[in-house]
Amino acid sequence: MIGYIDCECIIYDSQSLKDKRAVLQRVLTRIKQKYNVSISEIEFQDTWQRTKFGIVSISSSKVQTERELQNVLQFIDSFPEIERTVTSFEWF
C-alpha cells in the first residue's frame, strides 16, 4: 500500500529564506532519520513563511502505512516553529 500526504505548514518566525531553510533542514533531516518515509518540500520554495511537504510511505498493509504517516504528522506537530495547516491523504 502506498500512502501520500500533502502537508502545508506555516513558519511564523521566519524572516528570510535562510531562516526558513534552517528550520526545514532540521525538520526534514530528523524525519528522514527517524521514520521510513520519503519527504520533500514540493511548493512555496521562494516564500518565507509557507511550505508544503510531500510525504510518501510504502508498506504491505494500509494500517501499517497509515500508522507511519500519522507518526510523521505528530512529529511535525511537535516542532514549535512550524504549524501544520492543510493536510490531505491519498492512497494508491
Mean pLDDT of the 25-43 span: 96
- Paired strand residues for 53: 7, 41
Query: Where residue 18 falls among pLDDT bands split at 50, 70, 90?
Result: very high
Which pLDDT score, from 0 to 100, does residue 66 have? 95
The cell numbers describing 43, all together, are: 511548493
Q: How far apart are CA 39 and CA 48, in angstroms?
A: 19
Q: How far apart are CA 27 and CA 53, in angstroms?
A: 11
Backbone angles phi, psi at 52, to 5 degrees: -140, 125
Q: Could you report the per-residue pLDDT of 36-56, keeping only the tens digit for each?
A: 999 999 999 999 999 999 999
Q: How far apart are CA 10 and CA 81, in angstroms?
A: 8
